[in-house]
Amino acid sequence: MDEQEGRVNGEKFTAIVGFRAWAHDLHEIKALFYPAYNQVIDTAIRGEDAKGNYIHRLPNIHGSELLSDFPDEIKFQVLEKLCSVLKEFDVDFLRIGYFDRSFPYEMQHSARDQILDLCVTSTAFAISDEKEPNHVLVSEFDKESLRRNLDKTLQKLSTIYAGGAESSSINLKNLTGHYYATKSEIGCQIADIINYCCLKKSNGTTDFSNQLAKYYDMFSEDYIANQVIWINNRDRIFQMPQKNPTFNRHSPSGLPSDAKIA
């Protein structure tokens, strides 16, 4: 999970974005992607005769700072490799946000904090509606405001547990826990870059932005939620294509179905 700030039709919004995969697939995603990534960088640095046998320190893939030391051609080659790998696995994405100006509550803290609190709660409830149990939430350690609001949500859930898990309308079995990762974790990078491409799809104005939007198009139907909400006005919800929020999905044969990471 990551934070996103952006504009849709000129209106600023704040959102939670995420990448979701089976825990047992993360190793394979890294094992396929990083050698391909290294080959692109090796060729960019050492020329067409490079065989990828030099191991480079690979920069993190971050939307607004995407491979800043390399030309656009190399950036797109890396994204092409990443998207090709992801298409081999059962992955999906989410974005749940609220328009900043629509927030109606009196602010005891910053408006952004209040919106992130609502985004986190909405995300947790969306996951609790899934048929597959045992999601683990993972967020980037450096995002202090996201960390603070996730902690608030966990405190709310502990109160529900105290009142009796069986009596809750929320499927608490689907929320196994919450952990932190550094920005170099592959899930954090994927959540950031695909959702950055999603942002460019809705408001891109340059050739570079339009090219990024094409990578979002590869996953546009793989979002369990993709909406930015104007509070108290259903007519102003900005919604991009998304899957039916409730799934009947199964783990690959012979592998446990009790470990999903969101």
Query: What pLDDT shows up at residue 51?
Result: 75
Query: What pLDDT shows up at residue 58?
Result: 93
CB 136 within 8 A of CB 178: yes
pLDDT in tens, 85-144: 999 999 999 999 999 888 766 655 577 788 888 888 888 878 777 677 788 889 888 777
Say how far apart CA 141 and CA 184 lie, in whole Å. 11
The more confidently predicted of residues 124 and 216 is: 216
Say how far apart CA 96 and CA 133 lie, in whole Å. 21
Kindly list the distances between the CA atom of residue 110 and the CA atoms of 137, 166, 195, in Å, as whole numbers in the listed order. Answer: 24, 35, 24
Query: What pLDDT shows up at residue 247?
Result: 36
Query: What pLDDT shows up at residue 63?
Result: 87
Query: What pLDDT shows up at residue 106?
Result: 60
244 band by pLDDT with thresholds 50, 70 and 90: low
How many C-beta atoms lie closer than 10 Å to residue 212's C-beta?
24
Tokens of 14: 């704040």
* Averaged pLDDT for residues 186-195: 95
pLDDT in tens, 47-79: 888 877 889 999 999 888 899 999 999 999 999
Which DSSP string corresponds to 29-47? HHHHHHHHHHHHHHHHHH-
